[in-house]
Amino acid sequence: MNITLSSKLQERIAAKVQRGDVGSADAFVEHALTFYLDFEEDGMDDDEYIETQAAIDEALEQGNPGEGRPVEQVFAQLRARHGIPR
């Protein structure tokens, strides 16, 4: 499957990859879509979604450039901490 993203979205994803927040654009998009689909299928309420997104944003902001962790590890840790099933 090929997906075309707007140039603005591509720039935002590229910046996250460059900073080391995520391993690759493909991994970022896959995890973002998985998160969204899990949200839709599992009926996560708005408060849970907001808390999870805030925790993800906080974790990404805490990573120093060049010292990032794989996004899979970050998401797994956040899910475990907040009791969110995959």
Answer whether 0.75 is exceeded by the pTM.
no
Q: What single letter denotes the amino acid at residue 33?
A: L
Average pLDDT rounded to a whole number, residues 25-52: 83
* Helices of type H across 1-86: 7-19, 25-42, 46-62, 71-82
Q: What single letter denotes the amino acid at residue 34?
A: T
Query: For residue range 18-35, what is the model confidence (pLDDT) as tens digits?
Result: 988 888 999 888 888 888
- Count the Cβ atoms, other than its own, within 10 Å of residue 1: 2
pLDDT of residue 70: 81
The yes-or-no verdict on residue 64 having pLDDT over 80 is: no
pLDDT of residue 68: 67
Give the residue among 68, 76, 65 at the shortest CA–CA distance from 31: 76
Average pLDDT rounded to a whole number, residues 44-51: 81
Tell me the Ramachandran region of residue 65: left when phi exceeds 0, alpha when psi lies from -120 to 50, beta otherwise.
Answer: beta
For the chain, the structural domain boundaries read 7-82
